[in-house]
Structure 1
């Protein structure tokens, strides 16, 4: 279902989505009240599995409609659409906290608008990926840890988590499983626009795990802290005396991304050698593959999210197919494994 107050946007998005033969748009509505009515009156064969929900609409906006949509049975997946602004970023994080599964930033005209091929690829991947996950039965019990700590080698001195499509929810699931005072410094690289990363860091910081902040140039890596790469900047680690500091770079995108996982992993290997653990979560493409090769060549470890729990098994799948992933599991299981391996700071 498409829910947007602009008929032009509904028409364009409908054509874009139905260009994929695996997607059928069952309804196009202009506000939240119409979305609820369409869900209530749809036949079983025409009931929406995924709702693409604009947040700013008249009559009933997306934030008002969201909890009501999520009460409908069978419960649809909701992906919110928001503007590439600070206000849009804040609204997106509020929607994710309220139960939305993912977000899609509305592209600006300067980047090609809805015709932007990157936007098309991201939207189709999220709609199809979340629809697939929705159809999977819920696990009968919480996921077990991936392996016993003794099987995973030496405790790393730094951990890097990379993610893209479906990443915000996967990151939240993993961070919730970590102790507040985890004994190693951590960095996260999530493919996300500028402005959105600050809001994501604030969201992750509220989950009870380690303290999370958007990285600033000159921040020092330290145990018990997680630094998130800011949108549109690469995050690099550099030894400075007896400490390792973070620096932001506006070097060209890698794997069509900035921030990208690969340059962060390369810099961590330069700073810590073999004592690096890379964790690659759900995402399109293969960002992180070259970086994980560098980690493995230095003697470090790479873990990957499993296919069944990934919205898109592109990034983690590339690690797994290359034989670099010593462990695979759900974000929860990987979080438990990290907690068991790294422990708490004294």
Structure 2
């Protein structure tokens, strides 16, 4: 089966005025560094550079930025206090929270997402480290560009639900950020595979930008699956942040959830999350599946990455796998999805209209390995039915 997915004609090559970015940080060194990075990009420009949240709130209407990079810890008014005031003044503002990797800042970043921040980005600990932080620079520019792209495109895209059994119902996004289509030409054909008759024995999930909220929605609806089968998740996220995410997943699902530990047995009734800064794979020990953590180089510019989890799981469960790819930038998960599909497993991708960024799920969909491409609110019910043996 193939379904056409439409995107605005020429959306990948249209020319627009540069995205206007406001940089808010009490460090003059960091403000200057980020501003130089932004100005070096032809499609971005610095609208303002200010040192406190109060300055940002007072100037946002006059400066009229598209995107705000907002530090958390600042004098006069911190980032979490400024966030709702900024969004009140400009409803469609994209706000990216920036913070160092402390537990307190990770918790604040999660709170910011629930208050309407579009995303977060961890800052290196010192200005000496930040001066050579190519990873931070690349991630920041890509987040600004991809999340700011929603201002250049319609809030939703005319892409029907791609599951043969599903109706084209659109769930609202989990925060006030419209979907960002992956760069694309005017029309694509998404080839859907039939669902495999193999009964899944494990659920694998991959996600990135917009993933924390999507994960909460998903795990809240798959309790019967978690009770009987293991769930393994890779979310692109740094250390400390994954610790907090695991705690949120446990509270939301009502089931045990924790960062995977090298060598620990994989058991039904538990959620295992790849720890920040380590790839999480699956291996066998004494005939039983166990977690295998990998401190190797980045894969798909990510660590942890989804592909190692997906590909390694086939060595343990063969085709008895259901994999779900949720919202996120890039194409991580596409190669692993091919391995799962080739082994006889099933892959589901989140659809474009409910994804914050349709990069990862779009890559999987266009790789021809999906049995369904669904709005977020339809994924959990489908997962429950598949594990119950219902293929329709």
What's the TM-score once normalised by structure 1's chain length? Answer: 0.84
Write the distance in 2 (CA, Å) between the matches of 1:196 and 1:111: 23
> Which residue of the partner structure matches residue 10 of structure 1?
31
> Which residue of the partner structure matches residue 149 of structure 2?
132
2:101 corresponds to 1:79? no
Residue 69 of structure 1 aligns to a residue in which SS?
Answer: helix
> Which residue of the partner structure matches residue 235 of structure 1?
280
Residue 5 of structure 1 aligns to a residue in which SS?
Answer: coil
2:46 corresponds to 1:25? yes
Q: How do 1:246-257 residues align onto structure 2 when only pairs under 5 Å count?
A: 246-257=291-302
> Which of residues 69, 91, 94 is equivalent to 1:52?
69
Residue 364 of structure 2 aligns to a residue in which SS?
Answer: helix
Write the distance in 2 (CA, Å) between the matches of 1:281 and 1:245: 24
Q: After TM superposition, give the deviation of residue 241 of structure 1 in Å.
A: 5.1
| Aligned residues of 1:194 and 1:231 also touching (Cα < 8 A) | yes
Q: Which stretches in structure 2 are left out of the alignment for 5+ residues?
A: 1-21, 167-193
Q: For the structure 1 residues 339 and 27, does the alpha-carbon distance in structure 2 shift closer, same or farther, using more than 3 Å as the test?
A: farther
Q: After TM superposition, give the deviation of residue 128 of structure 1 in Å.
A: 2.6
Write the distance in 2 (CA, Å) between the matches of 1:133 and 1:256: 23
Q: After TM superposition, give the deviation of residue 109 of structure 1 in Å.
A: 5.4
Cα RMSD, aligned residues only: 3.1
Give a deviation string over 1:189-240, Cα, whole Å, max 9, x none. Answer: 1122222211111122232465432122343333332210011222122334
2:192 corresponds to 1:171? no
2:105 corresponds to 1:88? yes
> Which residue of the partner structure matches residue 270 of structure 1?
315
> Which residue of the partner structure matches residue 105 of structure 1?
122
Q: After TM superposition, give the deviation of residue 243 of structure 1 in Å.
A: 4.1
2:265 corresponds to 1:244? no
Q: After TM superposition, give the deviation of residue 180 of structure 1 in Å.
A: 6.0
Q: Which shifted more, 276-285 or 98-107?
A: 276-285
Q: Which shifted more, 308-317 or 96-105?
A: 308-317
Q: For the structure 1 residues 48 and 304, does the alpha-carbon distance in structure 2 shift closer, same or farther, using more than 3 Å as the test?
A: same
Q: For the structure 1 residues 79 and 110, does the alpha-carbon distance in structure 2 shift closer, same or farther, using more than 3 Å as the test?
A: closer
Q: After TM superposition, give the deviation of residue 147 of structure 1 in Å.
A: 5.2
Q: For the structure 1 residues 294 and 243, does the alpha-carbon distance in structure 2 shift closer, same or farther, using more than 3 Å as the test?
A: same
Q: Which stretches in structure 1 are left out of the alignment for 5+ residues?
A: none
> Which residue of the partner structure matches residue 116 of structure 1?
133
Write the distance in 2 (CA, Å) between the matches of 1:302 and 1:256: 22
Write the distance in 2 (CA, Å) between the matches of 1:173 and 1:24: 35
Residue 371 of structure 2 aligns to a residue in which SS?
Answer: strand
Give a deviation string over 1:277-300, Cα, whole Å, max 9, x none. Answer: 222223333322222221112111
> Which residue of the partner structure matches residue 186 of structure 2?
none
What's the TM-score once normalised by structure 2's chain length? Answer: 0.75
Q: After TM superposition, give the deviation of residue 37 of structure 1 in Å.
A: 1.1
Q: After TM superposition, give the deviation of residue 311 of structure 1 in Å.
A: 4.0
Write the distance in 2 (CA, Å) between the matches of 1:47 and 1:257: 33
> Which residue of the partner structure matches residue 195 of structure 1?
240
Write the distance in 2 (CA, Å) between the matches of 1:72 and 1:210: 39
Q: For the structure 1 residues 18 and 262, does the alpha-carbon distance in structure 2 shift closer, same or farther, using more than 3 Å as the test?
A: same
Aligned length: 337
Give a deviation string over 1:161-193, Cα, whole Å, max 9, x none. Answer: 112333323323433433365343211111222
Write the distance in 2 (CA, Å) between the matches of 1:188 and 1:165: 14
Q: For the structure 1 residues 97 and 59, does the alpha-carbon distance in structure 2 shift closer, same or farther, using more than 3 Å as the test?
A: same
